[in-house]
Amino acid sequence: MDEDEFDAFYNASYRRVCAQVYAMIGDSDEAAECVQEAFARAWAHRRKMSSVDYPEAWVRTTAYRLAVGRWRRKKYAGRAADRAVGVRMEMPAVDETHVALVAALKKLPEAQRQAIVLHHIADLPVHQVAAEVGVPTGTIKARLSRGRTALAALLADEAPGTALEGGVR
């Protein structure tokens, strides 16, 4: 993967992956930083990336794992999370309905949230979600079904014009 290929990959995927990771972790700043770091690692391993079937899935998974790792470190070790990218980025305003949706997603069990984000937001077919998560397709279908039901209930509880608690900082 040369510079031009990487830039094209980055420009085509960055916003999309950011949104997906934001939906998964509920924090847009953190999502942006982790996705940026994941792309940096993709460039650092560009030779390997050339043989990866789904580079975007690689970046998404890496970013998600970075986010989880940073969260764990903050929670359990009391250490400051690493700030690999350094400068904190300026974030555009996020639509209130999206904030509410992300807040509702955040209330789902992690496995259900992951399945919903990968299927409905990353637009992956069920079998590909199953492959990425590493569970049978039947399990993904069950998680999707339960997750959608729970999400509908959470969104129905949402008062008109107000966002649910939690979500972005």
- Tell me: does residue 129 bind other proteins (CB under 8 A): no
Q: In this structure, are residues 96 and 64 in contact, taking their beta carbons and an 8 Å threshold? A: no
Residue 20 CA, chain-centre distance (Å), reads 4
Task: Please tell me the distance from the alpha carbon of residue 30 to that of residue 36, in angstroms, as a whole number.
Answer: 10
Contact call for residue 125 and other proteins (CB under 8 A): no
56 is an interface residue for other proteins by CB under 8 A: no
| Binders of other proteins in range 7-36 (CB under 8 A) | 7, 10-11, 14-16, 18-19, 22-23, 28, 31-32, 36
**Is residue 111 within the footprint of other proteins (CB under 8 A)?**
yes
Nearest to 40 by CA among 81, 86, 79: 86
In Å, what is the CA distance from 12 to each residue of 5, 6, 32, 55? 11, 10, 15, 12
Angle between helices 3-25 and 28-44 (to 10 degrees): 150
Q: Does 43 bind other proteins (CB under 8 A)?
A: yes
Give the interface size with other proteins as a residue count (CB under 8 A): 69
CB of 96 to other proteins, least distance (A): 10
CA distances in angstroms from 81 to 23, 36, 133, listed in the order given = 20, 15, 25
Give the binding site for other proteins (CB under 8 A). 3, 6-7, 10-11, 14-16, 18-19, 22-23, 28, 31-32, 36-37, 39-46, 58, 61-62, 65-66, 69-70, 72-73, 76-77, 79, 82, 84-85, 89-92, 94-95, 97-98, 101, 109-111, 116, 120-123, 134-135, 139, 142-143, 148, 151-152, 155-156, 158, 168
